[in-house]
Amino acid sequence: MRGRMVFTAARRARTVARMFRKARRDDCPRFLVLVMLATFASAGCNTEPEIGGPPPTVMAGVTILNLHSNNPDPASFATCQTGAAVLLEAHGSFDPAGQPLEFEWRDEVDYGDGVRIAAPDWGPNAHVRRTTAYEIPAQFSTVAYHYLTLTVRTRDGRSASHTLRMTVTSCESCGIP
């Protein structure tokens, strides 16, 4: 476990017993120090953070900055035209325990056949973006249903996710049917 002090109960008991046997042969002050160390060891000496408590609250949103669609998809959170600039927003997300958050945005597309694949809009093999900022700019050029999943993580490993569907249509003012 790469140098971490993680003891099983049996190993901890053997170590404490060995310390007591050795301490009886030596002087009293050393025995007292070993008793204090044994108490600490029996209480747990695990340097790994414990995962506990409620998961963080996740709130995802999208604000379309330009190229709004004149034909919004009622089944989607937002609808825009290809090439639109948007803000991916995590405002309202928080950790009840007060830990800092990391945000992971994942973009998958469905071309209408019900199969989701990694979206090419953010570059090759870049359909995931990680940040500590509550909002990040993005651009969408693939005409499809985009499933944007925001996963919020805390330092101790707790997480929660929310997925939004966004429809990207072809350019309505370009003369393309």
> Same structural domain for residues 69 and 109?
yes
DSSP alpha helix (H) spans, 26-71 = 28-43
- For strand 78-81 and strand 159-169, is the pairing parallel, antiparallel, or unpaired? parallel
In a shared domain, residues 32 and 104: no
Two tokens, residue 153: 């993580």
At 71, the pLDDT band (50, 70, 90 cuts) reads: confident
Task: Write the secondary structure of 139-167 as one string of H (helix), E (strand) and C (coil).
Answer: EECCCEEEEEEEEEEECCCCEEEEEEEEE
Is the pLDDT confidence value at 158 over 70? yes
Claim to verify: residue 154 and residue 106 sit in the same structural domain: yes
Give the pLDDT band of residue 50 (cuts 50, 70, 90): low
Number of domain units in the chain: 2
Q: What are phi and psi of 40, to 5 degrees?
A: -65, -45
Q: What are phi and psi of 29, to 5 degrees?
A: -60, -40
- Is the whole-model pTM more than 0.75? no
For position 112, what pLDDT does the model report?
Answer: 92
Domain residue limits at 136 = 61-169
> How high is the pLDDT of residue 150?
96
Q: Are residues 13 and 85 in the same domain?
A: no
User: Is 66 a member of any domain?
Assistant: yes
- Residue 54 domain-assigned? no
pLDDT at residue 177 tops 90: no
Residues 88 and 160 occupy one common structural domain:
yes
pLDDT at residue 14 is higher than 70 = no
Q: Is 120 left (phi over 0), alpha (psi -120 to 50) or beta?
A: alpha
- Rounded to 5°, the CA angle 114-116-118 comes to 160
Q: The CATH number of the domain where 155 resides is what?
A: 2.60.40.10
Same domain, yes or no: 83 and 132 = yes
| pLDDT computed for residue 90 by the predictor | 95
pLDDT bin (cut points 50, 70, 90) of residue 21 is: low
Asked if residue 49 belongs to a domain, the reply is no
Length of the chain in residues, anyone? 177
The answer to whether residue 30 scores a pLDDT higher than 60 is: no
Q: Give the per-residue SS3 of 60-76.
A: CEEEECCCECCCCCCCC
Average pLDDT over residues 68-76: 90
Q: What does the mean pLDDT of the chain come to?
A: 78
Residues 65 and 35 in one domain: no
The verdict on 66 and 38 lying in the same domain is: no
In a domain, 24, yes or no: yes
Give the percent of the chain with pLDDT over 90: 54
